[in-house]
Amino acid sequence: MQDQPEGGSIIMIGSVSGTRPSPGTAAYGAAKAGLHHLATSLAVEWAPRVRVNTVVPGFVATESVAGHYGDADGVAAVAATVPLRRMATPDDVADACLFLASRRR
């Protein structure tokens, strides 16, 4: 990407588990912490030709969200903890990635 005429953009998908502990997810959290460090290191090393960002979406309402947070009441309880009072959607995450991938500087 550094050799391309207009540089490039790398977008990684992180997790809050990379910055705060969550019981039973040590390997996942360690991997996401490593991803965060990789992204910040590459952002400094490869700037300004290559933009490196990490999107950390928080709670996302996917098809499997109920399996993780329980019934609709459990999902609603989790959503109530988000300042926007709702979970992100996959489209919200995609929109953030599309913005970061755009050629705007």
Measured CA to CA, the distance from residue 80 to residue 61 in angstroms comes to 13
- Evaluated on CA atoms 62, 68, 72, 76, the torsion sign reads negative
Active-site annotation holds for 69: no
- Evaluated on CA atoms 88, 90, 96, 99, the torsion sign reads negative
The DSSP H or E segment spanning 63 is: none
The DSSP H or E segment spanning 10 is: strand 8-13
Catalytic residue, candidates 16, 22, 28, 66: 28
Annotated catalytic residues are: 28
